[in-house]
Structure 1
């Protein structure tokens, strides 16, 4: 029995993820005649988390469509900003994205982070249980069916990673409201109430403090504040939000 041949093209934004022989535009592909379009796309290296509209001979089709002989398939990326329905926008980051997690928290974005490698099944299960968008550079992890939602982080550079996530999901920014260590919420703290947690030089130099309501870590505008403020100001200029 002859297996059907289709013609498939990935949008330029997706070609980095595709198998090398599929990066030059429209190419022929022999399928098994029973696999869904979603399965075919993921077998070529592109997680469905990155896929938007699927056009078959110019008509939109779902990922469950089984392509037939001679069909022409165009794979487009997710539209930006991407809306995640049904829950407040929250993220879960894998073990390799610690810097990105801290920067999202700095901007007031709910970003849970696993500092240890707990394994793909548990990460995917937590994404589903807590309805969090899983951010990862592991394409295999993003193909797990139990994921609630996910997104591939394209860059290895934290600055570019942050811009990618903010541009893709447009989360509400509320800088200086979350603990960068644990993701808990911050509240103003009286200096006398946190005095015992401060070094002598800090007590002498600073008067304004905040404290995490979860882990009780204390924050103040110390030596690294200018660097953090530059990150915050840059994000607010480009993506909007309320300075807090």
Structure 2
């Protein structure tokens, strides 16, 4: 190997990002050029900086701007959970591949923007920065864009696991049934007589309690799928809602 080397040890939880030989925490020897930052070096291994918590060089805390020198030993740790994110309340932006996760987050009252069409990585990253939203994606390249305000990799392709991962990592405030699952607008109670023209005959006859989105005017009621959705919401609140885990 040409040039001076450093040794980089990546936490096993971040193993899916690095070459197979180093996924169990085995130290990786890397060549350094005396110019590239530690952040660049970590990304060159495949780890998005959105997933990196503490960086330690020879046992001492270091920033992503540190320039590694020959012989240094670097530890790359994962983000802490729950992960502190500046600003409140938390707002999210999901890419085109995370539609089911977006709807579930909205059902829990989490402010979740979602692009149903592929608008391209630059536009997504710009929206994250402009609206100060945490961008969630399974696209590692997208999460490496410099203009991102904040981001997070979604580790699973299963919606149940995705939801638990996001709620456990970011700990957003949950306010079930307060947002429109279709557009992310806020819901308010609606009088039946004011929305009758938007209801089919069977719905109007069988239900009396309704909510309506203030943005897209979609109407909600406790229909045939409510029990399944209620079970999902109840489970999420039990694990991640106020007082969860308290005896």
- Aligned equivalents of 2:64, 2:188: Cα separation in 1: 45
CA deviation after TM superposition for structure 1 residue 73, in Å: 0.4
Structure 2 equivalent of residue 221 of structure 1: 222
For the residue of structure 2 that corresponds to 1:121, the secondary structure is helix
Q: How does 1:84-163 map to 2 (within 5 A)?
A: 84-163=85-164
**Structure 2 contact 89–172 (Cα < 8 Å) conserved:** no
Structure 2 equivalent of residue 211 of structure 1: 212
Structure 2 equivalent of residue 51 of structure 1: 52
**Structure 1 residue 195 corresponds to structure 2 residue 196:** yes
**Structure 1 residue 13 corresponds to structure 2 residue 10:** no
Question: Over the residues paired in the alignment, what is the CA RMSD in angstroms?
Answer: 1.1
- Aligned equivalents of 1:61, 1:121: Cα separation in 2: 29
- Aligned equivalents of 1:16, 1:91: Cα separation in 2: 24
- Aligned equivalents of 1:42, 1:215: Cα separation in 2: 41
**Structure 1 contact 87–131 (Cα < 8 Å) conserved:** no
Structure 1 equivalent of residue 30 of structure 2: 29
CA deviation after TM superposition for structure 1 residue 172, in Å: 0.4
Moved over 6 A (4+): none
CA deviation after TM superposition for structure 1 residue 87, in Å: 4.3
**Structure 1 contact 3–33 (Cα < 8 Å) conserved:** no
Q: Which runs of 5+ in 2 are unaligned?
A: none
TM-score (norm 1): 0.96
Q: Which runs of 5+ in 1 are unaligned?
A: none
TM-score (norm 2): 0.95
- Aligned equivalents of 2:228, 2:43: Cα separation in 1: 40
- Give deviations 1:65-118, integer Å, cap 9, x for gaps: 111111100000011101111343100000000000000000000000000000
